[in-house]
Structure 1
Amino acid sequence: MRKTRFIALILVAVMLVVAGCSSNTSGSGSQTPGASSAAPSASGGNSQTLDGSVTFGVVAPITGTNKMVGEYVKNGAEMAAKEINENGGILGKELKLVFEDEVDNLQASVNAMTKIMNYDEVVAFFGSTYSGNCIAASPVVLEKKITMFAGGSSANIPKENNPYIWQARMTDDQSGILLAKAATENLGMKNPAILYSTESFGTGLKDQTLAALKNLGIEVPEKNLFGFVVDEKNFTPLITQIQNSGCDGLIAIGHQMPAALICQQVDANGLDMPLLGSSSWASAVCRTNAGDAANGWYAVADWTVEVATEEGKKFAEAYKTTYGADSDMPAVTVYDSMMLFKKACEIANTTTDKEAINNALKEIKDFNGAMSVYSYADTHCFSTSQFMTHNEGGKAIMMDTVKSR
């Protein structure tokens, strides 16, 4: 009896060792240090033909109130890695990913970005989707001298003058010009109200929109400005003030989840005037959560799945096929950022020299991405255009492409 029990214990021990070895060798194309579970492999089916690897970091809100945004980021990154690896990798090397969770607050985000930067194998990374978080991490990026693609669009990011921070998305100083033109030229606003988030992104875009409106001959008085904190849930008091303000249109600026709440509460309160939002109002996150209340809103947006460009259509269709749902701005932002990283590696002819790769980004010109045509600018912002959209029947219908340069 003792002998039988002894043999059984040995068999259990062997099985545990085998299981442990198996878990450490699966999913070679994608890793998630510090996260609760490993991400699916991003290597595609071609890794056996690739020689060596290069690692790209991705920071996303995998948990917390913004986890829907994080899912888009994760999907977009894995789709880019799969596509790159199935087409020869980067200079013949397999592209691997590491993910860190920024949850839903600034400190957690900075911690996640710092953790990514401390991995020796990470050559470059995609930082937070939120501008304030990117700005907070800027000193560490400068210290580490590692390329970061910021997911945010704040014009305050270039003001950091950090040579290692880049943006695929158009910055707010340009978006503000396009918002002002859309409000006045397309929607006929002469006395708009501006509803905006009071964090870095919102105040930056609000200020740029005000400046652009002034250049068009429209001075917006202080009483027409309505700020809200980033985690605001009740917009009815502000909407009531806007209803009674005598304004002839609303320009709204904020992130995806507040955008959905604003759509719902504007609809519930019967606000009847032209409605124009920043990029978030065209997002799938906003449209999905707001439902029919999102219909009727216009937006100046980085992305819409109704895009008419060849690269944009290709991305939108591939995402829908892969994940069974429409793509959104966070997904295409990380996807295009990774394609810009690949292009820089090819220009520099290296996957290991971080400084050479960072410098090579300055040589990118007229690069066709899914979201825009990308060219280097002194601001380190690559995007040259955005879309004007109109929400109809649950879709953000593309009306026009608006170029900034």
Structure 2
Amino acid sequence: MKRVGQFAVVLAAVASFFAWGTEGFAAEPIRIGYMATLTGEGATWGQHEREGALMAVKDINARGGVLGRPLELICYDVKGKPEEGVSAIRRLIYDDKVVAIGGSNYSGIQIAVAPIADKGQVPVVSSTATNPAVTVDPDTGKVRPYMFRIVYTDPYQGKVIADYLIKKCGAKKLAIIGDVEDAYSEGLTEYVKRTAEALGVENRFWGFRGGDVDFRAQLTAAREWGADAVALTMYYKEMGLVIKQAAEMDWKPLFMGGDGYSPNMFEIAGKAMEGTYWVYPMNADDPILDPIKAAFRKEYDRDATEVLNVVLAYDVVLMIANAIETAGVAEGPAIRDALENTQDFKVTHFVWTVNKETHDPLNKPASILKAKDGKLVFLEQWKPEGAPVK
């Protein structure tokens, strides 16, 4: 299903989308929901996602809405917690009567809300939740019918981390540090280990529990074991502390982390961030993103620090709007079918085709970034098998 319509046009002129008003609709709005972490750890991601989603809604409404009706966004704070996600999705489906939902960016939340989305027959499109169980039930091996995602998965991301550290950087002994209580961290850890083992490289895991702030015991053990590289399979606060504490111990292995990264890590780790490597779903400095960054600056009078989250949330809303338009009705089951059959739909940062077997995006490349002079610099795109993507 290849569509070239009003939503493709939206992308071409995103920088000027605030030039049009949203008044003039006689029809009732189509309600869509969004689950975002607006408070607590991870709030920097959720706040940017809410802002990106609102930008997309405003843009679409300025261009005539969907099916002749305006979109209305209802966003709830899930606080980075599965139980809050369950409460939010129930309100969205049964009280607010939304027809589709964007977010969240936590795998644990998405896994918790999946049965509710399936029962309520309302599709959910996640922004950065990467655990395979978000869209495929691990007990049955079958796709969760109403769960989708825009980002790649932990198996893919984990393969990239291990493959790049070993093949590109020459790592011989790989330490892995992760959160034993977090679904995202557990999934990423598993596939870093699998890939390292497949490549014949020794690896060991050191765990911690959410809320820990002292990682010197893990770092000491990894250094004594002889690790020359460390894969960080958690979120930005802990990653920043690990990198900072390693520098304080005067230990400087190769560090590489996943998309739990945030620019706020430079404030946590300071100069110790220099030379670290990161896997990211996109290159935030790609000129193709300049229009949406300029639009964000115009609307919110500041630069976006979490460009990834702004763009992904914006694109999730575009995807949902396109599916509603394609379905021809604002009803959950029809929107779900349209989402599942999406092919070659151009959003802001890539061309989106849905894998029907997994509800993941097909052929989404990973960007390799390196910390240099207080910011991340794009190096190259990388496939798990090690061949650079041109």
Whether TM-score is above 0.5 comes out as: yes
- Tell me how far apart the structure 2 counterparts of residues 72 and 394 of structure 1 sit (CA, whole Å): 21
1:47 to 2, 17, 22: 22
- Tell me how far apart the structure 2 counterparts of residues 109 and 87 of structure 1 sit (CA, whole Å): 32
1:244 partnered with 2:220: no
Q: Which residue of structure 1 aligns with residue 191 of structure 2?
A: 208
1:134 to 87, 90, 110: 110
- Tell me how far apart the structure 2 counterparts of residues 259 and 322 of structure 1 sit (CA, whole Å): 31
Q: Provide closer, same or farther for how the CA distance between residues 313 and 190 of structure 1 changes in structure 2, counting only shifts above 3 A.
A: farther
What secondary structure, in the 3-state scheme, does the structure 2 residue paired with 1:396 have? strand
1:313 partnered with 2:290: yes
1:175 partnered with 2:157: yes
Q: Provide closer, same or farther for how the CA distance between residues 143 and 290 of structure 1 changes in structure 2, counting only shifts above 3 A.
A: same
Task: Return the offset for 1:84.
Answer: 1.9
**What is the one-letter code of the residue matched to 2:221?**
Q
Q: Which residue of structure 2 aligns with residue 225 of structure 1?
A: 205
Task: Return the offset for 1:385.
Answer: 1.5
Alignment length (residue pairs): 357
Task: Return the offset for 1:90.
Answer: 2.1
Task: Return the offset for 1:315.
Answer: 2.6
Q: Provide closer, same or farther for how the CA distance between residues 400 and 315 of structure 1 changes in structure 2, counting only shifts above 3 A.
A: farther
**What is the one-letter code of the residue matched to 1:132?**
G
Q: Superposition pairs for residues 91-106 of structure 1, below 5 Å? A: 91-106=67-82
Whether the 8 Å CA contact 1:80–1:339 is kept in 2: the answer is: yes
Q: Which has the higher contact order (CA 8 A, sep 6+)?
A: 2
- Tell me how far apart the structure 1 counterparts of residues 367 and 81 of structure 2 sit (CA, whole Å): 29
**What is the one-letter code of the residue matched to 1:48?**
E
**What is the one-letter code of the residue matched to 2:21?**
N
**What is the one-letter code of the residue matched to 2:296?**
Y
**What is the one-letter code of the residue matched to 1:401?**
Q
Q: Which of these two proteins has the greater Rg computed from alpha carbons?
A: 1
Whether the 8 Å CA contact 2:99–2:123 is kept in 1: the answer is: yes
Q: Which residue of structure 2 aligns with residue 23 of structure 1?
A: none
Whether the 8 Å CA contact 1:197–1:228 is kept in 2: the answer is: yes
- Tell me how far apart the structure 2 counterparts of residues 89 and 260 of structure 1 sit (CA, whole Å): 42
RMSD of aligned alpha carbons: 2.3
Instruction: Please list every run of 5 or more consecutive structure 1 residues that lacks an aligned counterpart in the other structure.
Output: 1-41
What secondary structure, in the 3-state scheme, does the structure 2 residue paired with 1:122 have? coil
**What is the one-letter code of the residue matched to 2:215?**
F
Instruction: Please list every run of 5 or more consecutive structure 2 residues that lacks an aligned counterpart in the other structure.
Output: 1-16, 138-142
Task: Return the offset for 1:120.
Answer: 4.4
Task: Return the offset for 1:289.
Answer: 4.1
Whether the 8 Å CA contact 2:80–2:109 is kept in 1: the answer is: no
2:327 to 344, 348, 357: 348
**What is the one-letter code of the residue matched to 2:40?**
G
Task: Return the offset for 1:96.
Answer: 1.1
Q: Provide closer, same or farther for how the CA distance between residues 227 and 73 of structure 1 changes in structure 2, counting only shifts above 3 A.
A: same
What secondary structure, in the 3-state scheme, does the structure 2 residue paired with 1:225 have? strand
- Tell me how far apart the structure 2 counterparts of residues 241 and 207 of structure 1 sit (CA, whole Å): 20
1:8-52 CA distances to partner (integer Å, 9 max, x unpaired)? Answer: xxxxxxxxxxxxxxxxxxxxxxxxxxxxxxxxxx99842224453
Q: Which residue of structure 1 aligns with residue 345 of structure 2?
A: 367
TM-score of the two chains, using structure 2 as the length reference: 0.84
- Tell me how far apart the structure 2 counterparts of residues 166 and 80 of structure 1 sit (CA, whole Å): 19
Whether the 8 Å CA contact 2:18–2:58 is kept in 1: the answer is: yes
Whether the 8 Å CA contact 2:304–2:310 is kept in 1: the answer is: no
1:176-198 CA distances to partner (integer Å, 9 max, x unpaired)? Answer: 22112211122111211111122
